[in-house]
A and B are shown apart, each in its own frame.
Chain A
Amino acid sequence: MKKLSFSLLLLILGFAACKDDDGGDPVLGEDLTNITFDPKAHTLTIPPGLPSMDIPADNPLTDEGIELGRRLFYDPILSKDSTISCSSCHQLKYSFNDISAFSPGVGGLLGNRSSMSLINIGFQSNGMFWDGRAHSIEEQALGPVENPLEMAELWKDVEVKLRRHPDYKKRFRQAFGIDNTMDITKELAVKAIAQFERTLISANSRYDKKKFQLDPNPFLLSDLEADGQKIYYDDQQGGPDDPKGHCAHCHDGNALFTSEVYRNNAITQVATLNDFPDKGLGAITGNLTDNGMFKSPSLRNVVLTAPYMHDGSIQTLEEVIEHYNSGGHYADNVITGSITQLNLSDYDKMALLAFLDALTDTTYYSNPAFQNPFQ
């Protein structure tokens, strides 16, 4: 397989190399070959605890590609009326999420799902979106532009805008070595965005510093937080009567804090599996038993991202914990081994909340490399 894709890449490169033979016509675009193409390979530093990241062979990370992607991510040029950028709904200060249940797109129209944090998404390998319908970051990034409730623009019009843009045409050349402005395509735009997204790595919370010994300070986690951690992981060091939260069954994945599973966490009361207002995974697979299943999101930086759940229906983390403590609404596809009455005491709930707080990485949302380049 590797060989095949490598050969294909070579073939494609071969073709691309022949392209300029038919270039030069001003109606068909502008020659860019006088701009130096010398991209610098970008090596990611993967912190301990995180798994390997799959970087597609046809989209290696370069400094130029990442910077182009960052600009596209923050630029409302991708939307119909230049009002909405990816960052409208994915704001750095909220861990690239937002704080409304449903985010307004072009014209103030509201989508039907809550936005998601963009954090360590380059490591994910089991689908993107609440229902897992996108299979790669590149594929995902194609979606928002033409979504009428988000950016409401046509990619062909975005391509025209980018081709005419003095700065972007230069940056596309520098990132991808294209010879002509006509080679600026949506495929390259989403590749650049994906490169930027792969750099969005977070693993520097107090929990990480303790777990992976990044900091020798023995007081990184308070006793309350450490107790919360035990509840999170069903770790009954004090004996079989210790409280269990079962959280890690769906929100672990080692340092990812998502097990990348699709589950019904019992937030919606339904008479039958047919009755979910949003079928989630079931709408994608067509399986009745997948109805009402959604991706278990990463709980990193979760204190920053209220309201919660795919429909933004839970306002605070206290209420989220209360929900799990109650066992929620039974349906035939709920895993009642975990989603069941937990009988947590007030102290246990406080501890769990404190542990979630210890997953906050302040160096993530203050990272200059992730900030808006236009400000």
Chain B
Amino acid sequence: MKKFLFLFLIAATAFSCKDDDQPSTPSTTVNINFKAVYDGAPLVLYQALDYPGGKQIRFQHFNFFVSNITLLGDGATPDHLLSEVEFFDFEGNLDIAAAQTALSRKYEKVPLGNYTGVQIDFGVPASLNNADSGKLDSSNPLRQAFSSHFWSDWGSFIFMKSEGIYDLNGDGVFNQSDQGFEHHPGTNQVLTLVTKLKPIILEGGVDFDLNLKADVFKIYVSNGVALDLSNPDNKDTQELTDMPLAIDLMSHWDQACSIED
């Protein structure tokens, strides 16, 4: 009797895998590969980098949420939502080899067709930007980064963390007399929609790599003007009085994010 039960369980197991084989529209796999760079070169944390004005800067953390990642259709091909929300954390960029390796996410069953580009929200969509996202399943990026990124005083996620130190006195060494910075923009006001147009032709049989670059330099330097990191008012974005800075930094995602060839 026990043995039969066992066979039944095996059969049940086999059936439970069935739904993978359902017929569907022709599709392929799209990989999003994100690299973090600084002024075009791979971003290596803890490495001294040149900042406009002649002084140096060093990053310790760089990470962000992106949401509603959508391939834009050309009319004949409808838009396709790749992902509701993702979290990219470049904490592993401790040497050049690691920094040259992109963080990847794989999306299967993306309908074939001609897409004209990709649309990405930098940040967490308003509908998910609340403490209830902490109750999501542990596979959800919002749950995974809940402890570190939900700022309960705002009731919002921190959308991006860019942390490091600026060589304030320009002596070429970093220490306590320099300016630490912690830019943590968040709240629905700073959600930033970015659209990147570039033909994305999905054909059968081959995976498509969508290679994206996040240039943190361009978050700080816009139209040739660099954020003045020597100004203590610019060292963090945690208070409501810092909202203009938070909005400004996030608005630069449009130029900081690009599709690589």
Q: Does B96 contact A (CB under 8 A)?
A: no
Residues of B within 8 A of A (CB): 2-3, 5-6, 9-10, 12-13, 16-17, 45-46, 60-61, 94, 131, 134-139, 143-144, 146-148, 150-153, 163-165, 174-176, 178-182, 184, 233, 235-236, 238-241
Bound Cα distance A259, B153 (Å): 13
Instruction: Select which of A52, A252, A258, A335 is within 8 A of B151 by beta carbon.
Output: A252
A211 to B136, CA, bound (A): 21
B147 touches A256 (CB 8 A): yes
| CB-CB contacts below 8 Å: A265-319 with B | 287, 289
**Chain A residue with the shortest CB-CB distance to B240:** A236
Distance between Cα atoms of A7 and B12 in the complex (Å):
8
The answer to whether A50 and B239 touch across the interface, beta carbons within 8 angstroms, is no
**What B residues does A253 contact at CB under 8 A?**
146-148, 150
Tell me if A363 is interfacial: C-beta within 8 Å of chain B: no
Query: Is the C-beta of A234 less than 8 angstroms from some C-beta in chain B?
Result: yes
Q: Is the CB of B148 within 8 A of A3?
A: no
Asked if residues A336 and B239 are in contact (CB atoms below 8 Å), the reply is: no
Q: Does A10 contact B (CB under 8 A)?
A: yes
Q: Are A259 and B148 in contact (CB under 8 A)?
A: yes
Interface residues of A in 65-93 (CB under 8 A from B): none
The smallest C-beta distance from A129 to any residue of chain B, in angstroms, reads 16
From the candidates A3, A252, A260, A340, name the one contacting B17 in the complex (CB within 8 A): A3
Assembly CA distance A254 to B182 (angstroms): 19
Judging by beta carbons under 8 Å apart, are A287 and B147 in contact?
Answer: no
**Distance in angstroms between the alpha carbons of A258 and B152 in the assembled complex:** 12
A335 touches B163 (CB 8 A): yes
Binds B, one of A104-112, A146-154, A326-334, A346-354: A326-334
Number of A-B contacts (CB under 8 A): 134
Query: Once the chains are docked, how many angstroms separate the CA of A211 from the CA of B138?
Result: 25
CA separation between A236 and B240, bound complex, in Å? Answer: 8
A336 touches B180 (CB 8 A): yes
Interface-located stretch among A12-20, A190-198, A219-227: A12-20
Query: Who on chain B is nearest to A10 by CB?
Result: B9
Size of chain A's interface in residues, with CB distance under 8 A? 53
Additional pairs, 18, CB under 8 Å, beyond known A10-B9, A337-B164: A1-B139, A3-B17, A11-B13, A15-B6, A17-B5, A18-B6, A49-B131, A50-B134, A51-B147, A52-B134, A125-B147, A126-B148, A233-B153, A252-B147, A254-B150, A330-B176, A336-B165, A337-B182
Least CB distance, A269 to chain B, in whole angstroms: 12
CB distance B176 to A340 under 8 Å? yes
- Taking CB atoms, residues of chain A closer than 8 Å to B136 are 52
Assess the B153–A235 pair: CB atoms within 8 A.
yes
Q: Does A325 lie at the interface of the complex (its beta carbon under 8 Å from any beta carbon of B)?
A: no
With A10-B12, A235-B153 in contact, is A335–B182 under 8 Å at CB?
Answer: yes
Inter-chain contact A14/B135, CB cutoff 8 Å: no
Within 8 Å CB of B147, what residues of A? 51, 124-126, 252-254, 256, 258-261
Residues of chain B within 8 A of A209, CB atoms compared? none
Question: Of residues A18, A49, A50, A52, which shows the largest number of chain B Cβ atoms within 10 Å of its Cβ?
Answer: A52
Most buried by A among B45, B60, B137, B179: B60
Residues of B within 8 A of A126 (CB): 147-148
Q: What residues on B are CB-neighbors of A249 within 8 Å?
A: 182, 184
In contact, B239 and A51 (Cβ under 8 angstroms): no
Contacting residues, chain A, for B144 (C-beta < 8 A): 125
Query: What's the least CB distance linking B6 to chain A, in Å?
Result: 4
Q: In the bound complex, how far is the Cα of B92 from the Cα of A21, in angstroms? A: 51
The 8 A-B residue pairs with the shortest CB-CB distance in the complex, in nearest-first order: A336-B180, A337-B182, A51-B134, A253-B147, A233-B153, A337-B180, A330-B176, A7-B13
Query: Of residues 325 to 375 in A, which have CB atoms within 8 Å of B's CB atoms?
Result: 327, 330, 332-333, 335-340
Partner of A239 from the list B5, B13, B241 (CB cut-off 8 Å) is B241
Note all chain B residues with C-beta closer than 8 A to A337: 163-165, 180-182, 235-236
**In the docked arrangement, what's the CA distance between A10 and B153, Å?**
44
Question: A236 vs B12: C-alpha distance in the bound complex, in angstroms?
Answer: 59
A54 within 8 A of B: yes
Q: Which residues of B contact A320 (CB under 8 A)?
A: none
The residues in A between 142 and 198 inclusive whose CB is less than 8 angstroms from any CB of B are none
Q: Which of A228-264 contact B (CB under 8 A)?
A: 233-236, 239-240, 244, 246, 248-249, 252-256, 258-261
A52 touches B143 (CB 8 A): yes
- Residues of chain B with a CB closer than 8 A to A239's CB: 241
Across the interface, which residues of A come within 8 angstroms of B138, CB to CB? 52, 54, 125
